[in-house]
Amino acid sequence: MVTEGSEYYFDPIGLFVEAGETVTFEIESGSHSATAYSEDTSSASVTRIPDGAAAFNSEILSEQGATYEHTFETTGTYDYFCLPHKTLGMVGRIVVGEPSGPAEGSMPPDGPVPESQTIVDQGSVSYSEFSG
């Protein structure tokens, strides 16, 4: 999770993992969160994680090097955002196993992310490679 000048982003912006894998979100700079688009989260008006999947929310982390871990158990596509920078387009996508669920076929409401199949094919899409 990065702040660079007036840019706020997740790097990578797209990531592929298998079910059961744990992803570690780390603050490189700035203050950020990793928060699932789930109506169970007060800051999300839509759900963009697979049915039955656990929503995640790191809350805001501010210390450089601070981490948050989440284990992805349910196959599908997860879109997520940064609480303080959502309106500035700080969003990301994780595909677990194979693309599916309510996030498929559209972009998150707050900014573009790589297409799910691109993430699966490449394994990871860095912010600098994504032209959204």
Task: Give the residue-averaged pLDDT of 17-35.
Answer: 97
Mean pLDDT rounded to a whole number for the chain: 96
Give the per-residue pLDDT at 41.
82
- In this prediction the pTM is 0.96
pLDDT band at 5 (very low <50, low <70, confident <90, very high): very high
User: Between these two residues, 42 and 36, which has the higher pLDDT value?
Assistant: 36
- Please write the tens of the pLDDT for every residue from 14-24: 999 999 999 99
Q: What is the pLDDT of residues 45-94, one digit of tens each?
A: 899 999 999 999 999 999 999 999 999 999 999 999 999 999 999 999 99
pLDDT in tens, 80-112: 999 999 999 999 999 999 999 999 999 999 999
pLDDT of residue 32: 98
Q: Per-residue pLDDT for 43 more than 90? A: no
Long-range (24+ apart) CB contacts under 8 A made by 84-92 are: 84/31, 84/32, 84/33, 84/60, 85/8, 85/32, 86/43, 86/110, 88/8, 89/8, 90/8, 90/9, 90/10, 90/32, 91/10, 91/13, 92/10, 92/12, 92/13, 92/14, 92/15, 92/34
